[in-house]
Amino acid sequence: MSTLKFAVLAGDYIGPEVMSAALRVLEHVARQEGLKLDYTAAEVGGAAIDRHGSALPASTLQVCEAADAILFGSVGGPKWEKLPTKEQPERAALLPLRKHFTLFANIRPGLLYPELTDASPLKAERIPDGIDIVCIRELTGGIYFGQPKSTTTLANGDIEAIDTMVYRKSEIERITAVAITAARGRKKQLCSVDKANVLETSVLWRKTVSDYVAAHAPDLKLSHMYVDNAAMQLARDPNQFDVFLTENMFGDILSDEMAVICGSLGMLSSASLGARDNSLGKPFGLYEPAGGTAPDIAGQDLANPCAQILSAALMLRYSFGLDSVARRIEAAVRQTVTSGTRTGDIAFGRAAVGTTAMTDAIIAALD
Ligand code: NAD
């Protein structure tokens, strides 16, 4: 019997609600598939600040270290908003986790079922078949991590702030390798997004991606696009992309634009894969919903559990190599949503169900 050893970091507000839904689904498929779940829960974010005085305590990091993957909820909310920025849950938990495990590859599916096109702000006639694209974002380099970073008061009293955008060829090559794998599993089309008409890092990015794909994946159709154009094209005709690859800050912005055009944040999952393999020889990864802690609906059985459940499916696919089990979960979510069982965020005037009933329906669809 295969054992799936993972850390469960539920976080704050709706985090624990949707996490318990995902765990119920995982336990159900584990029984069906003869898998053993060996998971350990640990506090993170605001819950960890309240209990341990830090958003990412050493005890939580130890639980993650001992696991083959991290299933993450979301962190933060009004309770901790008055803390200094550096101590706030998201900044003090997620960024250090990404850095500690070198989670350099963020994979975000942009998926909108045709039955849910009402959820998108785009006109339905532009997306008659829904949306089905993937964003691959470099997550540990670029301007968010580059040094120096400073804010200085100048001699004339003016204030100057500096961020530094840095990329190495090796960092670009390893994220390109992830994008190649993703593109090969789909339509074999890869679009690399940069700003090579202005930025040195983007000139290196474009050349490195071109050379790497030519050498390692000549079967792929590679194209390049400037980021300003990509932002427009995503809103105009998102399905012209299949897999798009981009650096950290551009990916931060484009992946949120992609989330908006795909409708509810409650449906969108993500995977962040690390530079090192886990004990099974698969990528160590952190799996989390694209949305935040939704304090406005927390504690009322209103949250859509699909994003967390689909994140658990990604964990099975990437960190445990269980692609067929992941597909079964994805199919059960799709069947549930398209048959009309929906939480309020995707109900559009129909009767909505709560988090628990939605999870029950997904579990029933797995049978
Ligand atoms: P949010 O994503 O929490 O909520 C935005 C809107 O989407 C809200 O109306 C919310 O109700 C809705 N929504 C989000 N997830 C949903 C779900 N599963 N089901 C139904 N509706 C859902 O963004 P926000 O309000 O800007 O942020 C709230 C808190 O979450 C902040 O403290 C922020 O820092 C934090 N946050 C954390 C993460 C993370 O942990 N990765 C990411 C984003 C925001």
**Whole-number pLDDT of residue 349:** 84
Looking at residue 306, what is its pLDDT? 97
Residue whose CB lies within 8 A of the most ligand 1 atoms, among 49, 90, 302, for a mutation test = 90
pLDDT tens profile 82-107: 999 889 999 999 989 998 999 999 99
Q: Could you tell me if the CB of 88 is within 6 A of ligand 1?
A: no
Arithmetic mean of pLDDT, 18-31: 98
Q: How many angstroms separate the CA atoms of 175 and 140, rounded?
A: 10
Confidence at residue 348, expressed as pLDDT on a 0 to 100 scale? 84
The whole-number pLDDT of residue 119 equals 86
What is the arithmetic mean of pLDDT over 145-157? 96
Beta partners for residue 352, in sequence order: none
pLDDT beyond 90 at 249: yes
Given the residues 132, 194, 195, 212, select the one marked as catalytic. 195
Fold of 1-106+265-367: Isopropylmalate Dehydrogenase (3.40.718)
Q: What is residue 85's predicted lDDT score, i.e. its pLDDT?
A: 87
* Span 11-17, average pLDDT: 98
What is the percent of the chain where pLDDT is above 90? 92
Q: What is the mean pLDDT of residues 149-170?
A: 97
**pLDDT of 350 strictly over 90:** no
Q: Which one of 39, 144, 242, 360 is the catalytic residue? A: 144
- Output b/e per residue, 198-223; b: 16+ Cβ within 10 A: ebebbebbbebbeebbeeebeebebe
Q: Is the pLDDT of residue 151 over 80?
A: yes
Please check the confidence at residue 190 and state whether its pLDDT lies above 90: yes
pLDDT digits (tens, 9 = 90+) for 260-319: 999 888 999 999 999 889 999 999 999 999 999 999 999 999 999 999 999 999 999 999
Show Cβ contacts of residue 339 under 8 Å, excluding neighbours closer than 6 positions.
Answer: none
Look at residue 303 in the predicted model and tell me its pLDDT: 97
The answer on pLDDT for 219 being more than 80 is: yes
252: annotated active-site residue: yes
Atom number, ligand 1, closest to the C-alpha of residue 295: 28
Please name the residue that has the structure tokens 């390049």.
224
The yes-or-no answer on residue 237 being catalytic is no
Q: Where in the chain is the domain with CATH 3.40.718.10?
A: 1-106+265-367, 121-261
Nearest CA residue ID for atom 11, ligand 1:
294
CA of 289 to the centre of ligand 1 (A): 9
For domain 121-261, say whether CATH 1.10.287.90 is its number: no
The pairing of beta strand 105-112 with beta strand 269-277: antiparallel
Ligand 1 centroid, distance to 336 Cα (angstroms): 23
DSSP line for 103-165: --EEEEEEEE-GGGGGGSSS-GGG-TT-EEEEEEEE-SSGGGT-S--EEEE-TTS-EEEE---
Which of 228, 237, 301, 323 is labelled catalytic?
A: 228
pLDDT recorded at residue 104: 97
Q: Flag whether pLDDT at 1 surpasses 80.
A: no
Q: Alpha carbon 188 to chain centroid distance?
A: 21
Residue 127: C-alpha distances to residues 58, 190, 205, 353 (Å): 46, 20, 31, 26
Q: Which atom of ligand 1 is nearest to the CA of 11?
A: 40
The yes-or-no verdict on residue 76 having pLDDT over 80 is: yes
Rg (CA), the chain: 20
The per-residue pLDDT for 17 is: 98
Marked catalytic residue, from 38, 118, 256, 296: 256
Burial class (CB in 10 A: 0-12, 13-18, 19+), 34: exposed
Binned at pLDDT 50, 70 and 90, residue 206 comes out as: very high
Q: What is the pLDDT of residue 118?
A: 85
pLDDT band at 114 (very low <50, low <70, confident <90, very high): very high
Q: From the CB of 17, is ligand 1 less than 6 Å away? A: no
What is the chain's mean pLDDT, rounded?
A: 96
Q: Write out pLDDT tens, residues 272-289.
A: 999 889 999 999 999 999
